[in-house]
Amino acid sequence: MAERVSSITDLPLDILVLVFPYLDAKSFLSFCSTCKAFQQDSIRLDPAYWSHATRSTFRVPNQPIVQHDGVRWQKLYRRLLTQSRVFTWGSNTYNRLGHSSQRDVPAGPVRLPRHLPRRRFAHSSSCSFPTEMDNTRDLGVIADMQCGGWSTTLLASKGLLYTVGVLDGMQVLHNHSADNGPQLLRFPAAYPYSTGPAAYEEPTIAIRQFSSGRCHILGLSDSGRIWSWYAVHKPALHVKFLNIDVNDSSSTPSYEPSTYGRIRKVVAGWSRSSAFVNGTGIVVWDPVQRDAHQNDDEVDTMLVLDAVEVPRTGYQRAKGASRESPEERVLGEEVGVVLNYIMLEHFVIFVTDIGKIFCAKFGDKNRVEEILELQALRNALDSPSDVQGSFRRFAVFKNGEVIIGDQDYLEACWNARMRNPEQTDIDGLKYIPALQQNNVISIAFGDYHFIALHSTGKITSYGTELQACGALGLGGDGDPEGRIRGIRYTGFGHDGKLLPHAYTHGRQVWFEPEKKKFMTFMTSGGKDPDEAKERMRLFVTDPAVQGELSEWFEQEGRSWDDNPAVKEADEDGLGSYFALSISAAGWHSGAVVLVNAKLAAQVQRSYIVKDPDAVDETNNTEDQQPEGTEPIGMFASSLSWLTDLGRWFLGLQTVAEQQQSNLQDVFHPHGLSDFLDPIAYGASPEKGYKYVWADKSFPRLKLSDGQEMPGTVDFDEWKNDIPEWKLDIEV
């Protein structure tokens, strides 16, 4: 007879981990503190426990690529309690960003200073620097967010959904709400939909996972019920199927895998709805709406008669091989178990547990006749991959690689499935250097741009922002600050396209307000704009110089994390801004960010010093500039040179060639006042203080081709080495 177990420490680890999910976080930590044996990382930082605790407590979606990182999940659990914030950027048409007021926008038709050619001030319908959404801190912990075509939707940890903007911008007159704040998505009159514990305790309407399409939203409740919204001010519709068995249980989700008929997830595509039903597979149908003559209170359920099943996607592995039929065994060997899937405009893509990736093209009425393996994307290690994407583009994650593709590539593979089954010599897959082996865990696509989330909590941006709408989130509100991040503005629409240099190491989205001040100061010419004017002219006119200079600024910005004072105050190593999830659609983007306010204040303090040259205005009346006279000093140089440069591009005479009396014809009085203000220039946070960069010059570099930028100041050093540029990237 086996020896009796006399202590819980004698139990093997695989038994203990079955007990852990029944403990809340406080109980689990108390349990681990009972003896040294439970202090080992394999128990105290068990990834299965902390992933489950974080996801079940806060409804945070799973991140497959980091699901085995117990340290990460534990840190997220601690910080989600108090630090969850939502930031958005890009086009704010229909208030899709949730910014009720636009900051730093001149009021009225003012005549603005000509700082640089095509200097563009922020329009009230755009935001180029991440800005926190208004009125979201009272919603509780934000677990997830998703962008739709004209909207942004948030999932609170209590299972409630809130939306800003409109779901269908093509029918804005019918869907627009007068309230600009986050709107609670409602349920039919028969269901409680008030805020607070009532909704959380009702599993039929507490949402645990959701998906935003272009014009509609799908939500999956705790009980496994599908809800669909087509307008913010309309109650949801409960979606049911005529010929598909769905297990709509009233019990909360268990820790064990779902049983047959349970819905694992919902995905709202460009113009389709879908769900993964265990035992059936991927099910697709058209978005549902009430008829125009139907009363909202009369219809709460929509029975879908023509839902389509994607073939060969319903396989589930049996615990014993002997329980499988020959057909199931073949399906398991050829296709495998679907782990994840996405919906594009005309295709569905899914990945399986044997390292294969498949696609299928939709026909009439969403029909799918067959599936096709994407041969070039198969994982040679037979280990699972992941796929993410929307609209017309997708990303495949395998073994640290991130491969970008689009529908043109899928179409080429689909059309060649008979004559070229191996899909040889089919072009269209892109390997962006900045994404390879760089801890990328998520990618979100807009119409012309995309953003990547790294496991370090950093976000990088790629692509194009149409009409300088700010969708890349790199700041600047157009020229010139956007140029310093590597954006080239061209064309009548002033579209901003990221230069090829930016794809070698990427361009991070910055959340620190001080970095925006740093950009403003440098693009104003630094401490001596007159000395820097030839370098700035080269920076504006030569894309290669702009690309290299933008990389220098990128390295400077990233080095802030290495500040000793900041690192010492960073107790958990996540930094002051740690992005938890990202989303993008259309012309805008967003992120759920954990904000350590105490650490962010430390970052701010570390870059501010007292200004010994600060002027006491009460005792310095003799040095005041008389109204209408030419300003002097550093900011006078800024004014003179920047105006000269703007007029030089326009082929006009310079300020030096004009009479002093013409100054008021070039600048609006209020614009002139702001232009000469060190605070507006990013040199000072407030009177009596200055930023540490206030005495720095616009950078002078030795370029990779051996060229030396003009000027008289010393050459600037790179924080890291000059990259080996890979400039053949087209996105």
Both tokens of residue 406? 């689009």
Q: Which two tokens stand for residue 47?
A: 């990834």
Give yes or no for a contact between 213 and 226, defined as CB atoms under 8 angstroms apart.
no
**C-alpha distances in angstroms, 364 versus 23, 304, 414?**
50, 16, 16
- pLDDT value, residue 661: 34
Coil, strand or helix at 2 = coil
The closest of 315, 430, 416, 419 to 361, measured between CA atoms, is: 416
Query: For 205-227, what is the mean pLDDT?
Result: 95
Q: How far apart are CA 375 and CA 358, in angstroms?
A: 9
CA distances from 96 to 147, 251, 386 (A): 8, 35, 29
> Is the CB of residue 580 less than 8 Å from the CB of residue 596?
no
Confidence band, pLDDT 50/70/90 cuts, at residue 574? confident
Over the stretch 362-371, which tens digit does the pLDDT of each residue have? 999 999 999 9
Alpha-carbon dihedral sign for residues 49, 50, 51, 53: positive
**Nearest Cα to Cα of residue 676 among 706, 646, 711, 631:** 631
pLDDT of residue 119: 39
For the record, the structure tokens of 175 come out as: 């869907």
Residue the block writes with tokens 């913010």: 232
pLDDT at 60: 80
Of 462, 714, 523, 500, nearest to 120 (Cα)? 523
Q: What is the distance between the alpha carbons of residues 580 and 458, in angstroms, rounded to a whole number?
A: 9
Tell me: the pLDDT tens digits for 417-467?
A: 999 999 999 999 999 999 999 999 999 999 999 999 999 999 999 999 999
Tokens 């819980």 correspond to 8
3-state secondary structure of 229: strand
360 alpha-carbon distance from chain centroid: 27
Per-residue pLDDT band at 211 (split at 50, 70, 90): very high
Alpha-carbon gap, residue 109 to 508, rounded angstroms:
34
Q: Which of 230-234, 391-395, 524-528, 635-639 has the lowest mean pLDDT?
A: 635-639
Helix (H, G, I), strand (E, B) or coil at 316: coil
Q: Per mean pLDDT, which of 175-189, 542-556, 654-668 is the most reliable?
A: 542-556
pLDDT at residue 16, as a whole number? 76
| Predicted local confidence at residue 466, as pLDDT | 92
Q: Give the domain ranges of the chain.
A: 10-70, 71-91+100-126+437-617+631-731, 94-98+133-309, 319-423
Does 381 or 652 have the greater pLDDT score? 381
One-letter amino acid of 452: A
Over 50: is that where the pLDDT of 665 sits?
A: no
> Residue 259: its pLDDT value, please?
76
Specify the pLDDT at position 121. 37
Q: Is 481 left (phi over 0), alpha (psi -120 to 50) or beta?
A: alpha
Distance of CA 220 to the CA centre of its chain: 22
Task: Look up the pTM and report it.
Answer: 0.85
Checking if the pLDDT of 625 tops 60, the result is no
Residue 621 has pLDDT above 70, yes or no: no
d(CA 42, CA 45): 6
pLDDT score of 493 = 81
As a whole number of Å, the CA-based R_g of the chain is: 28
The answer to whether residue 29 scores a pLDDT higher than 60 is yes
Residue pair 457/575 in contact (Cβ under 8 Å)? The answer is: yes
Q: Where does 180-282 have alpha helices with state H? A: 197-200
Give the per-residue pLDDT at 324: 86
pLDDT of residue 43: 79
Q: Is 159 exposed, middle or buried (CB count within 10 Å of its CB: 0-12, 13-18, 19+)?
A: buried
- Burial profile 673-706: b = 16 or more Cβ within 10 angstroms, e = fewer: ebbbebebbbbbbeeeebbebbebbbbbbebeee
Distance CA(485)–CA(496), nearest Å, equals: 11
Distance (Å, whole) CA 299 – CA 430: 47
In the chain, DSSP finds a helix count (H) and a strand count (E) of 19, 32
Strand partners, 68: none
Q: What is the pLDDT averaged over residues 688-708?
A: 94
Q: What is the mean pLDDT of residues 601-628?
A: 66
**What's the chain's average pLDDT?**
83
269: amino acid identity, one letter: G
Q: 703-716: per-residue pLDDT in tens?
A: 999 999 999 999 99
Q: What CA–CA distance (Å, rounded) separates 550 from 499?
A: 9
Considering Cα of 554, then 558, then 560, then 562, what sign does the dihedral take? negative
Q: For residue 252, what pLDDT band results from cuts at 50, 70 and 90?
A: very low
Confidence of residue 179 (pLDDT cuts 50, 70, 90): low
DSSP H or E segment with residue 274: strand 273-277
Q: Report d(CA 621, CA 618) in Å as an integer.
A: 7
For the segment 311-323, the average pLDDT, to the nearest whole number, is 84
Q: How many CB atoms lie within 10 A of CB 40?
A: 12
Torsion of CA 601, 607, 608, 610, to 10 degrees: 140
- Range with top average pLDDT, 256-260, 288-292, 639-643: 288-292
Q: Is 310 helix (H, G, I), strand (E, B) or coil?
A: coil
Distance CA 171, CA 692 (A): 50
| Residue 328: pLDDT over 80 | yes
Query: How many angstroms separate the CA atoms of 672 and 380, rounded?
Result: 63
Nearest to 413 by CA among 391, 428, 394: 428
